[in-house]
A and B are shown apart, each in its own frame.
Chain A
Amino acid sequence: MATVVPLAEAVGNLVHDGDSVAMEGFTHLIPYAAGHEIIRQGHRGLTLIRMTPDLIYDQLIGMGCARRLVFSWGGNPGVGSLHRFRDAVQNHWPAPLEIEEHSHAGIANAYVAGASGLPFAVLRGYRGTDLPSRTPNIRPITCPFTGEELTAVPAINPDVAIVHAQRADRRGNVQLWGITGVQKEAVLAARRSLVTVEEIVEELEPRPGAVVLPEWAITHVSEAPLGSHPSYSAGYTVRDNDFYQAWDGIARDRDTFLAWMDENVLDRKAAR
């Protein structure tokens, strides 16, 4: 049964030091407001899971929240590097970061297995690449029917999944649309879940093609207007491509990064 609570309370209830946390949203609907709340609450030792770490995990990594990162593409889309991610991997700053590296197809299928109650997923993937030699969670498997050699990855079942959506009703039923990524799979794979939304409405108008997450499949819903910025929420906001480009300069230098985080994240309270 979802309960609608303020963001700070939701994060406080759901995220604990050492948890595995999947914050999904494939370019679209990235839950920045919730990420910032995790940073403000000062969580440590997290295993962060996300296909594309994006700026949100660059920020969490740079602020020392992460012990381990499970990911498939760690760049600033169309811009270049994630400098805080790179600094952590190359120079262990601010702390060493273990990585578990996959392809998009691998992580997507691992979430599907997690949501499906299966121990692993099978795919035609990774064959011939160097990824299996570096990621023990990528293993060969033989098809019991054809004998064909395929690849298996274990299910991802995070302690907490956090996603952002366009809207929810007062009972906590969630509706999201546009590029829907792996949000549904992440929420259904997780033990606990938080959905932040642009707005809470009296009633959800049916919308063709939208993903609906029924309230009984979610733990908490929190209203977080503009909570996906600099990502976006189709129908509400547009992607702030200028900020993605500006981030390259902000994150390149440790002190500039820390000053930006102080001013824009730590000194601000959650919107509500």
Chain B
Amino acid sequence: MTVSPSASSASTASSGADAYTADEMMTVAAARRLRSGSCFVGIGLPSVAANLARRTHAPDLVLIYESGTIGAKPGRPPLSIGDGELAETADAVVSVPEIFNYWLQPGRIGVGFLGAAQIDRFANINTTVIGPYDDPKVRLPGAGGAPEIAASCREVTVIVRQSPRTFVERVDFVTSVGFGSGPGDRERLGLRGSGPRTVITDLGVLEPDPATCELVLTHLHPGVTLDRVRAATGWDLTVAPGLRETEPPTARELAALRALTGGRG
């Protein structure tokens, strides 16, 4: 396989039958982290990756959307969390109070799969406002199901494009808690899930250091330099010993992804 990703993360990796975009690498890397079990799926990037996992190595993955659809098997990633196909293909459709109270809150769901507008070194997520709350520079959609997904799923995976705007020292607003301000905070707050396990970006993969809870770089995607990741990170990034390179997408993964998205990446 010949891969020579270009310098710009948004653009297409260059020539060759197996060329892929940085977004495709990110989605494939995220999908690989999902195994069998259940996954509470956010809309957008998480939904595409979760559906890719179900189409490739994890056919038994149970996709759960906050609209109350448990075990949805959509043919294409839905535009919203409540598209009709989710209900038509689900094992069960339950009310919104039930999905949050009976299924999410007691810790029945394995992986919470979230996006972010900002994420900080302790993997706290902001999807509420950029700038001050009372006079925001950008008013974002807000919390949705995310705070309780981040609290109660047994673990959390985050997928987010990496740039100095998204990877910040401190989020402007804590919508969903990762590790708060460091070790012990989740326990102190009574959050029963173990928190973020993996953050997958278009440049690489970050994981929390077990001792400090700080996100450290564990993988670089092919062709991405460490300098570039550092430049896209708003804090002094620690690199894990034994930094590895992500396996590039296989032809099968790319074909399945493009079949899902209609080639939109």
Residue of B nearest to A86 (CB): B139
Most chain A CB within a 10 A radius of its CB, from B138, B141, B174, B192 = B141
Report the separation of the CA atoms of residues A131 and B127 in the bound assembly, to the nearest whole angstrom: 12
Most chain A CB within a 10 A radius of its CB, from B80, B84, B148, B175 = B80
Q: Let me know if A77 and B82 touch, CB within 8 A.
A: yes
Q: Let me know if B142 and A72 touch, CB within 8 A.
A: yes
Q: Nearest-CB distance from A62 to chain B (Å)?
A: 14
**Which listed segment binds A: B29-37, B62-70, B203-211, B213-221?**
B62-70
B222, CB-defined interface residue at 8 Å: no
Residue of B nearest to A237 (CB): B84
Interface string of B85-114 (1 = CB under 8 A from A): 011100001011100110011000000000
Using a CB-CB cutoff of 8 Å, which residues 175-211 of chain A contact chain B?
Answer: 178-182, 184-185, 209
- Across the interface, B143 reaches (CB within 8 A) one of A131, A182, A184, A238, namely A131
Q: Let me know if B44 and A78 touch, CB within 8 A.
A: yes
Using a CB-CB cutoff of 8 Å, which residues 113-146 of chain B contact chain A?
Answer: 128, 133, 136, 138-146
User: What residues of chain B lie closer than 8 Å to A149, measured between beta carbons?
Assistant: 190
- Across the interface, B190 reaches (CB within 8 A) one of A51, A89, A148, namely A148
B247, CB-defined interface residue at 8 Å: no
Q: Let me know if B67 and A104 touch, CB within 8 A.
A: no
**Which listed segment binds B: A3-11, A105-113, A152-160?**
A105-113
Number of interface residues of B (CB under 8 A): 52
A93, CB-defined interface residue at 8 Å: no
Using a CB-CB cutoff of 8 Å, which residues 105-140 of chain A contact chain B?
Answer: 105, 108-109, 111-112, 123-131, 134
B159, CB-defined interface residue at 8 Å: no
B81, CB-defined interface residue at 8 Å: yes
Most chain A CB within a 10 A radius of its CB, from B43, B148, B180 = B148
User: What residues of chain A lie closer than 8 Å to B144, measured between beta carbons?
Assistant: 52, 72-73, 103-104
Report the separation of the CA atoms of residues A105 and B81 in the bound assembly, to the nearest whole angstrom: 15
Most chain B CB within a 10 A radius of its CB, from A75, A77, A149 = A77
The verdict on A238 contacting B142 (CB below 8 Å), with A179-B68, A181-B96 known, is no
Interface string of A159-185 (1 = CB under 8 A from B): 000000000000000000011111011
Report the separation of the CA atoms of residues A134 and B191 in the bound assembly, to the nearest whole angstrom: 20
Report the separation of the CA atoms of residues A100 and B136 in the bound assembly, to the nearest whole angstrom: 15
Q: Nearest-CB distance from A147 to chain B (Å)?
A: 11
Report the separation of the CA atoms of residues A28 and B66 in the bound assembly, to the nearest whole angstrom: 12
Q: Nearest-CB distance from A116 to chain B (Å)?
A: 11
A26, CB-defined interface residue at 8 Å: yes
The verdict on A238 contacting B84 (CB below 8 Å), with A109-B101, A130-B174, A179-B68 known, is yes
B177, CB-defined interface residue at 8 Å: yes
A239, CB-defined interface residue at 8 Å: yes
Residue of B nearest to A30 (CB): B82
- Return 16 A-B CB contacts under 8 Å, by A number: A27-B80, A73-B142, A75-B140, A81-B139, A101-B128, A101-B142, A103-B145, A103-B146, A103-B147, A104-B143, A104-B144, A109-B100, A111-B97, A112-B101, A238-B84, A241-B83
